[in-house]
Copies of this chain bind each other. A is one copy, B any other.
């Protein structure tokens, strides 16, 4: 667009473009959650319906108990999933997405759509610059 802005470019752009810098660290927290190795997988799996601990662990390929517990706890603290423990003789705990969790899942789904839409270009650039696929 306008190229005349470059000399004193820092003047008009502020610390981080359109990000209010007050919400910056909060946005980063959510971004961390999104970029987390397991969070989105758990959310994606739970999007199909509630699951109990063991089933959840089976559905997420390669997750350890530790990571599943930690991930689920974080998601619960953020209000993205609910944890329902039934006081039965064999303990039963069910995890389910909250409406908030579902809305985040929708957002990430759109991101995934973007990836599916552009992964060709990205792969091309990566191979062109000598990066492993």
Contacts and interface: CB of A to CB of B under 8 A. Distances in A.
Given A36-B35, A79-B124, A129-B77, A13 B119 contact: no
A87 interface: no
Given A30-B115, A50-B6, A129 B76 contact: yes
A119 B106 CA distance: 16
Q: Is the interface of A mostly helix, strand, loop or mixed?
A: helix
Contacts of A115: 23, 26-27, 30
A45 B16 CA distance: 5
Contacts of A59: 10, 13, 15-16
Given A114-B104, A121-B79, A125-B78, A55 B10 contact: yes
Nearest to A44: B17
A125 B78 CA distance: 6
A85 interface: no
Contacts of A27: 112, 115
B100 A107 contact: no
Contacts of A68: none
Given A35-B35, A112-B19, A78 B122 contact: yes
